[in-house]
Amino acid sequence: MATTDKGIKKISLPVEGMTCAACVGHVENALMDVPGMLEASVNLGTEKALVEFDSSEVPFQVIQDAVFGAGYKLGTQTASLNIGGMTCSACVSHIENALRGVPGVAQADVNLGVERATVEFVPGIAELADLQKAVEESGYRVECFNDSGDQERELERLSKVKEIRELRNRLIFAGTGAILLFLGTFDAFPWVSSFMGQGFYPFLLWALATPVQFWAGSNFYSSGLGALRHGTSNMHTLIALGTAVAYVYSAVVVLLDAFSPGVLADNGIEAKVYFDTAAIIIALILLGRFLEAGARGRTSEAIRRLIGLRPTSARVVRGGEEIDILVDQVVIGDTVLVRPGEKLPVDGLVTDGYSAVDESMLTGESMPVEKVPGQKVYGATMNSNGALYFEATQVGGETVLAQIIRMVEEAQGSKAPIQRLADQVASYFVPAVIIASLAAFAFWMLLGPAPVLTFSILVLVSVLIIAC
Q: Kindly write down the DSSP assignment for every residue of 270-304, as one continuous string.
A: -----HHHHHHHHHHHHHHHHHHHHHHHHHTHHHH
Where are the chain's structural domains?
A: 8-74, 80-145, 154-305, 313-394
pTM for the whole structure = 0.63
Q: Could you say which of 3.40.640.10, 3.20.20.70, 1.10.3720.10, 3.30.70.100 is the CATH number of the domain covering 80-145?
A: 3.30.70.100
- pLDDT for 148 equals 42
Distance CA 370, CA 381 (A): 13
> Would you list the DSSP string of 218-251?
HHHHHHHHHHHHTT---HHHHHHHHHHHHHHHHH
Please give the Cα distance from 435 to 453 (Å, whole number).
18
Distance CA 16, CA 236 (A): 14
DSSP classification of residue 449: P
What is d(CA 233, CA 435) in angstroms, rounded to the nearest whole number? 12
Q: Which CATH number describes the domain made up of 8-74? A: 3.30.70.100
Q: Which of 73, 72, 80, 123 is nearest to 102 (CA)?
A: 123
Contacts of 260 (CB under 8 A, 6+ apart): none
Q: Determine the residue type at 128.
A: L
pLDDT at 169: 94
Q: Give the C-alpha separation, 156 to 181, whole Å.
A: 36
Q: How much helix, strand and coil, in percent to the nearest 5, is found in the chain?
A: 55, 20, 25
At residue 280, φ and ψ (nearest 5 deg) are: -65, -40
Amino acid, single-letter form, for residue 212: V
223-226-227 Cα angle (round to 5): 85
pLDDT in tens, 303-323: 777 777 888 889 999 888 889
Separation of alpha carbons 465 and 468, rounded Å: 5
Residue 133: per-residue pLDDT: 87
Q: Which residues contact 207 (CB under 8 A, 6 or more apart)?
A: none
Distance CA 29, CA 281 (A): 30
> What does the pLDDT look like over 30-77, one tens digit per residue?
888 888 888 888 888 778 888 888 877 778 778 888 888 888 888 888
d(C-alpha 357, C-alpha 381), whole Å: 7
Backbone angles phi, psi at 56, to 5 degrees: -75, -15
Full pLDDT tens readout for the chain, 468 residues: 444 456 788 888 888 888 777 788 888 888 888 888 888 888 887 788 888 888 777 787 788 888 888 888 888 888 888 787 675 666 777 788 889 888 888 888 887 765 778 888 888 778 888 888 888 887 777 877 654 445 555 566 566 677 788 899 999 999 999 999 999 888 778 887 778 778 788 899 999 999 999 999 988 887 777 667 656 666 778 888 889 888 998 898 888 888 887 777 777 677 788 898 899 999 999 998 888 778 767 767 777 777 778 888 899 998 888 898 888 888 899 999 999 999 999 999 999 999 999 998 888 888 899 999 999 999 999 998 889 999 999 988 788 988 888 787 667 655 566 755 665 666 677 788 889 999 999 999 888 787 788 888 888 888 887 876
Asked if residues 63 and 51 have their Cβ atoms less than 8 Å apart, the reply is yes
Q: Give one DSSP letter per residue of 138-207, joined into a string.
A: TT-EEEEE----HHHHHHHHHHTHHHHHHHHHHHHHHHHHHHHHHHHH-TTSHHHHHHHTSTTHHHHHHH
Q: Distance (Å, rounded) from C-alpha 397 to C-alpha 402?
A: 5
**What CATH topology corresponds to 313-394?**
2.70.150
Matching fold, domains 8-74 and 80-145: yes
Q: What is the pLDDT of residue 89?
A: 64
- Relative to beta strand 335-338, strand 313-318 is antiparallel
